[in-house]
């Protein structure tokens, strides 16, 4: 079940759903405006969030910021008719590519076949929507290139285009009051590839960019809101694996051996998966 949680005076969020790929939705609550972060994967998702906010007496969002163009973060936009939507120009371009698409099973299967869609998303869309595929792709109203600062009244949000393997248009949202960094999907692997992958170069660059934010809480859109020490643990694993991958590109055995040597223990399941992403992202295989 999805729950609306209060993280601080200014930041609320609703927990994600793995099966239907519903990401965390955030609300940054200021004196003059409420900003919603990500629009949801369907009108049902969005409305569930809006109702939960209303239930807590929180002002309805007048602004919504998108973290990237992927369907599960934007399909709810059509339910936000009186909300000004904000996205990077790259995200808007990504959404524009979706405009001509149909979302019935045949069209989805065709796009999975030719690589424009991935099976994982097609299945989640089928689960979220059932037979009714009346979703309408809506373009964002306000766009920015690199950064945009919003003053919500006593609380601010910095939107920054950071890119990365998961989505070249990825934007993070930073709330200095409360030190929350909304990561979106930025640090996840590239799923729109023949095999899920991460490149050491993009990973190291992105981790350095994220290190510039003075944050105490980090929001992984398809995971949890974690503390800084928890984030740093995951960050250090990623950074270490990325660096080792540069020395042994595409070589699973050597990357694993070197990592186990450095950590003086066996890799766990999560690390094993990350190593496979780095192998896929560094050996040039199709």
> Given the rule CB under 5 A, which residues bind Zn ion?
70, 185
Nearer to Zn ion, 165 or 185 (CB): 185
Coil vs helix vs strand at 98: coil
Nearer to Zn ion, 10 or 166 (CB): 166
Residue 20 beta carbon to Zn ion: minimum distance, rounded to whole angstroms: 14
Burial class (CB in 10 A: 0-12, 13-18, 19+), 9: exposed
The tokens describing 114, both together, are: 């030719």
Residue 185 beta carbon to Zn ion: minimum distance, rounded to whole angstroms: 4
Query: Whole-angstrom Cα distance, residue 116 to residue 64?
Result: 27
Q: What does R_g of the chain's alpha carbons equal in angstroms? A: 19
Query: Whole-angstrom Cα distance, residue 80 to residue 50?
Result: 10
Residue 244 beta carbon to Zn ion: minimum distance, rounded to whole angstroms: 26
Residue 186 beta carbon to Zn ion: minimum distance, rounded to whole angstroms: 9
Residue 232 beta carbon to Zn ion: minimum distance, rounded to whole angstroms: 23
Query: Whole-angstrom Cα distance, residue 171 to residue 48?
Result: 24
Report phi then psi at 239, rounded to 5. Answer: -65, -45
Nearer to Zn ion, 117 or 185 (CB): 185
Coil vs helix vs strand at 204: helix
Q: Look at the alpha carbons of 162, 164, 168, 174 in this order and tell me if their dihedral is positive or negative.
A: negative
The string of DSSP codes covering 50-90 is HHHHHHTTPPPPSEEE-S-S-HHHHGGGGG-TTSEEEEEHH
Residue 170 beta carbon to Zn ion: minimum distance, rounded to whole angstroms: 8
Residue 150 beta carbon to Zn ion: minimum distance, rounded to whole angstroms: 22
Nearer to Zn ion, 170 or 242 (CB): 170
Nearer to Zn ion, 46 or 258 (CB): 46
Q: How many CB atoms lie within 10 A of CB 186?
A: 23
Nearer to Zn ion, 128 or 185 (CB): 185
Nearer to Zn ion, 248 or 277 (CB): 277
């Amino acid at each position: 079940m999805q729950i609306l949680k209060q993280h601080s005076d200014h930041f609320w969020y609703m927990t994600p759903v793995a099966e239907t790929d519903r990401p965390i939705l955030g609300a940054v609550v200021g004196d003059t405006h409420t900003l919603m972060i990500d629009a949801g994967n369907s009108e049902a998702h969005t409305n569930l969030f809006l109702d939960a906010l209303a239930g807590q007496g929180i002002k309805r969002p007048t602004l919504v910021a998108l973290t990237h163009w992927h369907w599960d973060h934007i399909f709810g936009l059509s339910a936000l008719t009186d909300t000004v939507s904000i996205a990077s120009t790259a995200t808007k371009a990504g959404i524009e590519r979706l405009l001509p698409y149909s979302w019935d099973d045949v069209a989805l299967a065709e796009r999975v076949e030719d690589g424009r869609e991935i099976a994982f998303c097609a299945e989640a869309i089928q689960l979220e929507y059932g037979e009714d595929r009346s979703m309408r792709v809506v373009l964002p109203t306000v766009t920015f290139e690199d950064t945009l600062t919003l003053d919500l009244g006593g609380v601010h949000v910095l939107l920054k285009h950071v890119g990365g393997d998961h989505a070249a248009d990825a934007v993070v949202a930073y709330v200095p009051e409360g030190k929350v960094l909304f990561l979106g999907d930025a640090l996840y692997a590239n799923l729109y590839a023949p095999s899920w992958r991460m490149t050491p170069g993009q990973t190291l660059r992105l981790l350095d960019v994220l290190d510039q934010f003075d944050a105490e809480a980090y929001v992984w859109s398809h995971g949890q809101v974690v503390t800084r020490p928890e984030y740093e643990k995951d960050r250090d694993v990623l950074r270490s694996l990325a660096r080792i991958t540069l020395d042994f590109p595409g070589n699973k055995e050597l990357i694993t051996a070197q990592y186990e040597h450095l950590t003086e223990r066996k890799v766990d399941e999560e690390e094993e998966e990350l190593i496979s992403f780095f192998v896929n992202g560094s050996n040039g295989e199709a």
